[in-house]
Amino acid sequence: MKLEPILSCVLLALLGACASAEWVKAGGEIADEPVLAQCSQQAWTRARSAQMSNTASPPVPEDASRRSTATSSFPQPDMQEQTLFNLCMKEQGYDYVPIQPGASR
């Protein structure tokens, strides 16, 4: 068995895993810092607001053998914040696309 094809596949897979992406509108406009900052701030605010309203619920019952007998049905704040950020960017008309190799920026 030749190792060259296997090594080539592994190298390509690694390069693909390290590929970058950016937020781009259909016309080719790349999201600039003010747009990214606005969506980041909006996502942070909305995620924290949802988290605060979730903490207003009654306390979770404790069990001597476990820390908690209930689990939250809400996403973790960082996951929720990322989802809200993505939604904001989509609402602004951007799509998250891979950066083409050799493309000048």
| Total count of domains within the chain | 1
Reply yes or no on whether the pLDDT at 103 is more than 70.
no
Its domain, for residue 49, covers 23-53+72-100
Residue predicted with more confidence, 10 or 21:
21
Mean pLDDT on 1-10: 47
10 domain-assigned: no
Over residues 27-76, the pLDDT tens digits come to 999 999 999 999 999 999 999 888 888 765 555 455 454 444 444 445 56
31 domain-assigned: yes
Q: What does the alpha-carbon distance between residue 42 and residue 93 come to, in Å, rounded to a whole number?
A: 16
Q: What is the pLDDT of residue 59?
A: 52
Per the prediction, the chain carries an average pLDDT of: 74
Q: What does the alpha-carbon distance between residue 43 and residue 31 come to, in Å, rounded to a whole number?
A: 16
60 domain-assigned: no
Q: What is the pLDDT of residue 89?
A: 97
In the block, tokens 């989509």 appear at: 90
Q: Give the ranges where 18-72 is alpha helix by DSSP (H).
A: 33-55
Q: What does the alpha-carbon distance between residue 89 and residue 83 come to, in Å, rounded to a whole number?
A: 10
14 domain-assigned: no
33 domain-assigned: yes
